[in-house]
Amino acid sequence: MTDLTPPTGAGPLGRREARLAWGLLAPTLIAVSLVVLLPLLAVFWISVKPVGLADLRPPTPIVREDIRGDLEAEGDEAVLRYRLRNSSQDQTITDVVLSDAWPDGLLPGALDPRCTIADARLSCDFGDWEGGTRDEIRIPVTATAAYLSGPGAEASDPVLSGDASNILTNFDFTLENFTQIFDGGEFWAVFGITLFYTVFGTLGALIMGLFAAMLLNKSFRGQGILRGLYLFPYVAPVIAVAFAWILLFDPFSGSANALLLQMGVSSEAINFFGERPLALIMVTLFEIWRYFPLSFLFILARMQSIDTDMYEAADMDGASPFQKFRYLSLPQLLGILSVLFLLRFIWTFNKFDDIFLLTGGNAGTRVLTVNVYEQAFALSNIGAGAAVAVVIFCCLLLFSVFFFKLISREEGL
């Protein structure tokens, strides 16, 4: 009796298809892992290392060579001098060796015991250097006829080699970065600010987007122009619009303040981006202003794909406009609204440029992402910056779990 079970595993065709698929994906995979996954691993690595901005240049031995005296005629005497130092003030360099070509016909006087001359090369062995070590080698020399016709002593660059342990690649680990960022109330203040900014920025942009989409969800003359116009905040370079906002709300020469004063709303100039609760509200408003177009675009697209039959049926049944919105449009839009909410939530959480440009994280607007920059570059503590980045990444993982749960339900991906 022949075996009638269906074939298991992939057939040759299937295997070929899979091979092709991986071949097509390979460039992307390689590029993405080089620039995304590798840096991510690096962030985790750096976050447990005591790295400062200055440590990015590993300690190196440095040498300067000069000749004291003139070697212009036969028998002239001079001193060949090498000045050496450790570039780092606190790190040790081991096995420091100086090596330089020794010019033809130059007669050395008393040689430093650490140095030897062999095969027309000078080499000196210094052993280990503590941080901040300085040293000097002086060799009295006499010129002969052969030297004067050849290249000078300074013609060849001295080579100095040594092994330094690089803080980035050694195996010293510390949890100090994490204890430092979680220490004190500062971290939780930053976290609270981030949450405020993210939640209200996202909700605001979503509601504004919904409102704008409802305005434009009917055809009239000039609809295309208005739609293009309403997308401007999203399309313009963030740096341009951020500076325009700063100028507009400047406490001394800003038009907004002048307007408020003139209309009698406020009696003195308001420092919109410089006062404590106000600055946070302003950056949140900026976020809403800049990203409502995106929500508006998605919501409008969804609205236009809703079947009009339903509305006709509702009209027949005598539904009022608000009832139609509440009981027909809103349920239809719920899917896109929740997807947009999570997407925007994550992106707003990740936002750096906007706040950095508007306030630089001052006046109570320092969110987590700005804190990464602040720790790493302003405080020169790259390790702490990376630790904050790790915290951000963990939050992100948490959000994306929710997101994928939702999106699987929404579009069966």
The residue among 160 and 238 lying less far from other proteins, judged by its C-beta, is: 238
Residues 61, 162, 361, 385: which binds other proteins (CB under 8 A)? 385
Interacting residues with other proteins between 24 and 63 (CB under 8 A): 24-25, 27-28, 31-32, 34-36, 38-40, 42-43, 46, 56
The residue among 61 and 385 lying less far from other proteins, judged by its C-beta, is: 385
Interacting residues with other proteins between 343 and 362 (CB under 8 A): 343, 346-347, 349-350, 352-353, 356-357
CA gap 182, 142 in Å, rounded: 65
The residue among 126 and 197 lying less far from other proteins, judged by its C-beta, is: 197
The residue among 188 and 404 lying less far from other proteins, judged by its C-beta, is: 404
Residue closest to 213 by CA, chosen among 307, 139, 271, 292: 292
Place of tokens 């969800």: 217
- Of the chain, the end-to-end C-alpha distance in Å amounts to 42
Residue 327 touches other proteins, criterion: CB under 8 A: no
Residue 96 in tokens = 């420091």
**CA distances to 253, 296, 302 from 406, in Å:** 47, 21, 17
Q: Within a 10 A sphere around the Cβ of 375, how many other Cβ atoms?
A: 22
Burial 207-222 (b: 16+ CB within 10 A, else e): ebbbebbeebeeeeee
The residue among 98 and 329 lying less far from other proteins, judged by its C-beta, is: 329
How many residues belong to the site for other proteins (CB under 8 A)?
100
Interacting residues with other proteins between 196 and 235 (CB under 8 A): 211-212, 214-215, 224, 226-233, 235
Stretch that binds other proteins, among 129-137, 174-182, 242-250, 272-280 (CB under 8 A): 242-250
The total number of residues written for the chain in this structure:
413
CA gap 59, 380 in Å, rounded: 17
Residues 272, 273, 283, 302: which binds other proteins (CB under 8 A)? 302
To other proteins, the closest distance from the beta carbon of 131 in angstroms equals 21
Q: What is the DSSP string of 33-92?
A: IIIIIHHHHHHHHHHTS---GGGGS---EEEEEEEES---STT-EEEEEEEEEES-SS--
Interacting residues with other proteins between 157 and 196 (CB under 8 A): 168
The residue among 257 and 359 lying less far from other proteins, judged by its C-beta, is: 257
Interacting residues with other proteins between 139 and 158 (CB under 8 A): none
